[in-house]
Amino acid sequence: MKSKALASPYILWMVIFTIVPLAVVAYYAFTNSAGEFTLENLANAATYWPTFLRSVGYAIAACVICLIMGYPVAYVIAQTGASAQRILYLLVMLPMCMSFLLRTLAWVALLRDTGLINTFLGFFGVGPLPLIRNAGSVIMGMVYNYLPYMIMPLYTVIVKLDPRLIEAAQDLGCDSVQTFRRVILPLSLPGIVSGITMVFVPAVSTFYISQKLGSTSDVLIGDIVERQFKSAQNPYLGAAMSLLLMVIVFISIGLMNKFTGDEEVTTI
């Protein structure tokens, strides 16, 4: 009973800032401007499936790249000495001290046709290369912005691995690849799962990155939702899209948890 009482501030917070807004979103998604119940918004939102598909595709690509880049980083950090570990961890976190809008704008200044990189290449008569306004630059923006969310949970899990298990594997004749594949990787699975979740969810619903780094056809679902609320004055469609997106996210997480079997999944 006592632990429940301690959780009450959080429960209150959840109700006011999570449950109530969700209910409002659901309400808007199922009503029209006259306040009547309708499924039209959802049907309408579903016609934007190419945009949903694009958002999911880009987010998956960003996840995979984050995992491939983040895992070795997390592993190396976890293997270093305690003081170096703290510094390295801080370095990973450092970009997050700055607003993500600003960081994205910095990439625009680097990548665009008249940006730093192309100006530099121009001195050697190269370019301008098409570095910006394509799918690659949007995915790169996602990777850059969300990489720390992959590294953090991975690091937390890897650093807690019992070194005796690795030693045992080596004693029993595993080479380093086998040790990694059969011991380290399965044991760090909870970190991988929560890392993917923490990258996928913000990436699939992002809007600013695609506006700044993408071409006019790299529009993501977040951009459309933003417009519905900000200037198109159609919160009904916006809410329906958000709801659909939420369903997609829940299904993805559910699928992932299923594939990882009954491993204990920790979200951080």
Partner 1 sequence: MQGFVSAGGLCARQGSKTQQTPASVELNGVERPAGFGLKKKGDKKLKKVVSIVLVFVLAFSMAALSGCGGSDDQVTLNVYNWGMNIAEGEDGYINVVELFEEKYPYIDVNYTTYEDNESLYTRLKNGGQSYDVIIPSDYMIARMIDEDMLLPLNFDNIPNYELVDDSFKNQAYDPNNEYSVPYTWGTVGIIYNTKYVDPEDVGNWDLLWNEKYAGKIVMFSNPRDSFAIAEAMLGYSLNTEDPDELRAAADLLIEQKPLVQEYAMDNIYDLMDNEEAWIGVYYAGDCMLMIDENPDLAFYLPEDQTFNVFIDAMCIPANAEHKEEAELFINFLCEPEISGGNMDYIGYGTPVSAAKEYMDPEMANSPIAYPDEETLARGEAFGALSTEATQLMEELWLEVRS
Of the pair 60, 105, the CB lying nearest partner 1 is at 105
* Three-class secondary structure of residue 26 per DSSP: helix
- The amino acid that residue 181 corresponds to is R
Query: What radius of gyration, in Å, describes the C-alpha atoms of the chain?
Result: 22
Binder among 64, 226, 227, 249 for partner 1 (CB under 8 A): 227
Of the pair 113, 161, the CB lying nearest partner 1 is at 113
Q: Alpha helix locations (H) across the chain?
A: 2-14, 20-29, 40-46, 49-79, 82-93, 100-111, 116-123, 135-158, 163-171, 176-179, 185-187, 189-204, 208-213, 221-230, 235-259
Residue 29 CB, shortest distance to partner 1, in Å, is 17
Stretch that binds partner 1, among 84-92, 140-148, 169-177, 230-238 (CB under 8 A): 230-238
Q: Does 165 bind partner 1 (CB under 8 A)?
A: no
Q: Does 233 bind partner 1 (CB under 8 A)?
A: yes
16-55 footprint of partner 1 as x/- string (CB under 8 A): --------------------------------x--x----
Residue 58 CB, shortest distance to partner 1, in Å, is 14
Q: How many helices (H) and strands (E) does the chain have?
A: 15, 0
31 DSSP assignment? B
Q: Does 234 bind partner 1 (CB under 8 A)?
A: yes
Does residue 9 have a cis peptide bond before it, meaning omega lies within 30 degrees of 0? Answer: no
Q: Does 8 bind partner 1 (CB under 8 A)?
A: no
Residue 102 CB, shortest distance to partner 1, in Å, is 15
Residues 186-225 that bind partner 1 (CB under 8 A): 216-217, 219, 223-224
Stretch that binds partner 1, among 144-152, 178-186, 229-237, 252-260 (CB under 8 A): 229-237
Q: What are phi and psi of 37, to 5 degrees?
A: -70, 135
Q: How far lies 96's CA from each of 44, 103, 228, in Å?
A: 37, 9, 29
Residues 89-148 that bind partner 1 (CB under 8 A): 112-114, 133
Alpha-carbon gap, residue 184 to 181, rounded angstroms: 6
Q: Does 74 bind partner 1 (CB under 8 A)?
A: no
Residue 52 CB, shortest distance to partner 1, in Å, is 10
Alpha-carbon gap, residue 191 to 260, rounded angstroms: 11
Does residue 128 have a cis peptide bond before it, meaning omega lies within 30 degrees of 0? Answer: yes
Residue 205 CB, shortest distance to partner 1, in Å, is 15
By CB under 8 A, name the binding residues for partner 1: 48, 51, 112-114, 133, 216-217, 219, 223-224, 227, 229-234
